[in-house]
Amino acid sequence: MKELQVITGCMFAGKSTELIRRLESHNENFLLVKPKLDNRDKGDIIVTHSGIKIKAKRVRDLSDIFDIIEGVKVLGIDEAQFFDNKILDDLMYLRKCNIKIILAGLEKDYLDNFFGSMKEIIKISDSVTRLKASCTRCTNSATHSYRKTKDSNNQFLIGDKNSYEALCAECYQKTIKIDGK
């Protein structure tokens, strides 16, 4: 079975940028996918917070690409937390197809709970890279995604800097105490 690498961290930590960097560093044919649920960018494209744009196939499930993976040596998966639990079976199938997988996603949500299937994905991975952002309040290393908006309690609220900010553990704890979460 081929390797499964996981890139995780809080929002604004550079997960998508690191995913793209790793994909482009391979001198092999790669395919980049993202979940249809992630509608921040129009069409088959990913735009990172740092402005990098790259073509990416939008899919409901990873199985949507099974008929087009011939010749693909490396598969990049962005925003993996938005795929349902079927992703675990799909990842195992793709690894058996001798495809290296580099996956980026949020490990924890805004309430510091595991996000989607990320806990299980990390368990079956060969390596995990945890990136940190800069805390928007004190500039220490941020490890938490804090939701600024109170519009929804749904774990799946897709947003950007208008809805979320990166906080260090201390600022996160202070803020959730003030908010009563």
| Residues labelled as active-site residues | 79
Tokens 């519009």 -> residue: 151
Distance CA 42, CA 160 (A): 15
Distance CA 50, CA 177 (A): 31
Distance CA 132, CA 44 (A): 27
Tell me whether strands 127-131 and 4-9 are parallel, antiparallel or unpaired: parallel
Which residues, in sequence order, are CB contacts of 15 under 8 Å at separation 6+? 7, 8, 9, 78, 104, 105, 106, 131
Tell me whether strands 100-104 and 127-131 are parallel, antiparallel or unpaired: unpaired
Q: Pick from 6, 134, 25, 20: which is nearest to 81 by CA? A: 6
CA distances 34 to 24, 49, 83, Å, are 16, 15, 9
